[in-house]
Amino acid sequence: MDEADLANEKAEQFAADALRQIRQRAEQPPSTGICRSCGETIEPERLAVNPTAHLCRDCAIEEEEARKKAHRLGAG
């Protein structure tokens, strides 16, 4: 298998993963509009883009940073 084949395989896997995530998101119930982490109202702009959002912007950023840190430390 040469580099082009490997790149195509990775691109196909990425597309398949993205499609699976989109389908899973579409099957989720709509958000309640209240952040599960802090209890504050989720921004209307955020809900317009992602009606299934369960975290406000700030909590989503904190969660992503924690996930990246855990991954860097080998816990993810």
Query: Do 23 and 36 reside in the same domain of the chain?
Result: no
Query: Do 45 and 22 reside in the same domain of the chain?
Result: no
Write down the pTM of the prediction.
0.59
Res 76 pLDDT > 70: no
Query: Do 12 and 48 reside in the same domain of the chain?
Result: no
pLDDT bin (cut points 50, 70, 90) of residue 74 is confident
The whole-number pLDDT of residue 2 equals: 86
Query: Do 16 and 37 reside in the same domain of the chain?
Result: no
What is the tally of structural domains in the chain?
Answer: 2
DSSP per residue over 31-69, as a string?
P-SB-TTT-PBPPHHHHHH-TT--S-HHHHHHHHHHHHH
Query: Do 62 and 46 reside in the same domain of the chain?
Result: yes
Query: Do 44 and 22 reside in the same domain of the chain?
Result: no
**Full residue range of the structural domain in which residue 49 is found:** 32-76
Query: Do 56 and 75 reside in the same domain of the chain?
Result: yes
The whole-number pLDDT of residue 75 equals: 60
Give tens-digit pLDDT for 3-54.
888 888 999 998 888 888 878 777 777 789 999 999 999 999 999 999 889 9
